[in-house]
Structure 1
């Protein structure tokens, strides 16, 4: 999707702002190569920017509770396949989005944008920052809640990067209303200071929210630091049943507020690694084209993880699955030609541990070390 910027957009907002979304325009310095899971590098670079100027906030983002007060996107723009890597195009401008869901992160961004670094540093692929603009208007949770009901009374959401939920230890790649609004409400309750009783609202969603139309496709991609994700992209139109439109005004108001909240918080899990990017409109043409190799890598990780899990199933428990996914991620990326050192850095694991896991994984498949 082609983006355009308003030249006079001001990179400032009021001190009470709780949510904001930014988009950076980036230009490669050459025809550099990216590894398929390069969003790990974007994630690490962003956290390092926070660390350099706000150690306390950095510690919270690294070590805080599971709900993270920010999201990042993958790069939006043409990436060509080059062997097992993605190749940046020197003449191409890429767009990278960052959103903040809490006042401390919003305040940090307000200072950061006044003195931006010159480059986003990815492994062997620096990107020059050409501009930074506001993509999602500065607002507060109260303003989202108090906004009038849209006309027509519906919520259109587009999922422009693979989106998935966790359910009973597995990925669940369907945008059921209860899954969507559980995802949004969990973050709303954590950050808004306007908490809502979760169970009763989700019961109401299950009874009242209907899917009027959808255009959804599924894909399997490598994402985050370990493993793969089966997710969906596409668009969905949601409305309320006739019965519900005559009752529960508070739930109705929250329903529309959470729809407006979705682009800020993203949908599902791994939103700090580029997944679950969401827009508040029906926009099928905006859905990201997932590279063939990223899908292949995800499928290879899934294949290996299943084999390792089967071999280790006698041990049982979630630890078996986690170890299997870690082994699978390391071996699949090693098969792709990545160095063990680079994999160790991305996974934030000691090099010797990664080396040992690679050997154990090969032996489990009876491959030569």
Structure 2
């Protein structure tokens, strides 16, 4: 029998979805956070990287209303002006798959960081679909509420109040990119670099990055933290080493002499729950709260996702080494693709589902599975012969 655990983790339009009367805002709003109440009509299996499906479902909703915005969200070179969470609620770990339980309520967060996306959401909420479809799992949209109040970047700056202590909690695995690798530590300079990138892209109140981050490096004091690292399969390819947990920090007395940067510091702290922290936030990573949230013990679901991530990393290292010995081109990219596809096939995911997630032809995915299995077999033979 599956064991219950708790995870902090396209159909025609219809107007029957319940939304509160408060889910509206002025036309000049630039940031808002929504939370969806979802209920599966039946119990269904769910693959461990289902946030890829949530990401694709949302972009398809945008495409139906505003194709240009959808293309920008999908392909734009700037910071992404939205992010999503994983499902929060009672999940089941069933073999190597996850399982949604019928008649249980799950919560899903969707945050917008630019005026254009916020106004899309305002229009979209007037005519929501009845369900979210995730590779055979259908979730009814029961209700939508505001999780983070509608606001503007200028209002965040103006309303930011000085505090002796700031608490941030990282609800989902969080990571940064540093020198071509994952960096799973909330070093203040990395934290505020993450927030400032979004601020400079979307606020129309740009700040000179280096000077401010040098000030952050000199001024922020960490008082307490409770962090745990873990590997997760995140995004469409590869794995990420991230952290979850909470930290408390503040500014040194000397830092307060710089009133402009002090105000921006607290404004960026207020921005954190809207924009998330680090990279791959559009696939559920980096969800952040302005509070100290007690960390729960590792669940069976998290262990499953960790196992998948470790398998992807193990296969990536093997395929990369093999291709380098043979002088293969695009070594790193192809190794990650092969590793992701084979690891997902090993846990029982269909070629069709993998192809849809990776935006590849099913025949190509099938070919890559054969090549990856052949390479894996060769790797085992090489290992035995040494």
Residue pairs, 1:132-281, within 5 angstroms: 132-150=144-162, 152-245=163-256, 247-281=257-291
Q: Aligned in 2, Cα 1:313/1:354: closer, same or farther, shift over 3 Å?
A: same
Q: Aligned in 2, Cα 1:106/1:29: closer, same or farther, shift over 3 Å?
A: same
Q: Which ranges in structure 2 are unaligned for 5 or more consecutive residues?
A: 1-5, 9-18, 380-386
Q: CA deviation at 1:252?
A: 0.7
Q: Aligned in 2, Cα 1:224/1:127: closer, same or farther, shift over 3 Å?
A: same
Alpha-carbon distance in structure 1 between the residues aligned to 2:35 and 2:127: 15
Q: Aligned in 2, Cα 1:2/1:171: closer, same or farther, shift over 3 Å?
A: closer
Cross-structure match for 2:28: 16
Cross-structure match for 1:92: 104
Q: Aligned in 2, Cα 1:364/1:98: closer, same or farther, shift over 3 Å?
A: same
Alpha-carbon distance in structure 2 between the residues aligned to 1:315 and 1:367: 13
The yes-or-no answer on 1:344 pairing with 2:344 is no
Cross-structure match for 1:116: 128
Root-mean-square deviation (Å) = 2.1
Cross-structure match for 1:310: 321
Q: CA deviation at 1:66?
A: 3.7
* Contact 1:19–1:100 (8 Å) recurs in 2: yes
Q: 1:243-275 CA distances to partner (integer Å, 9 max, x unpaired)?
A: 212x11111111111110011111011100000
Of 249-258 and 357-366, deviating more is: 357-366
* Contact 2:41–2:103 (8 Å) recurs in 1: no
* Contact 1:210–1:238 (8 Å) recurs in 2: yes
Alpha-carbon distance in structure 2 between the residues aligned to 1:352 and 1:122: 22
Q: Give TM-score, length-normalised by structure 1.
A: 0.94
**Which SS does the other structure have where 2:89 is aligned?**
coil
**Which SS does the other structure have where 2:248 is aligned?**
strand
* Contact 2:25–2:150 (8 Å) recurs in 1: yes
* Contact 1:330–1:357 (8 Å) recurs in 2: yes
Q: Aligned in 2, Cα 1:354/1:46: closer, same or farther, shift over 3 Å?
A: same
Alpha-carbon distance in structure 1 between the residues aligned to 2:298 and 2:126: 30
Q: Which ranges in structure 1 are unaligned for 5 or more consecutive residues?
A: none
Alpha-carbon distance in structure 2 between the residues aligned to 1:308 and 1:182: 33
Q: Give TM-score, length-normalised by structure 2.
A: 0.90
Q: Aligned in 2, Cα 1:332/1:79: closer, same or farther, shift over 3 Å?
A: same
* Contact 2:7–2:91 (8 Å) recurs in 1: no
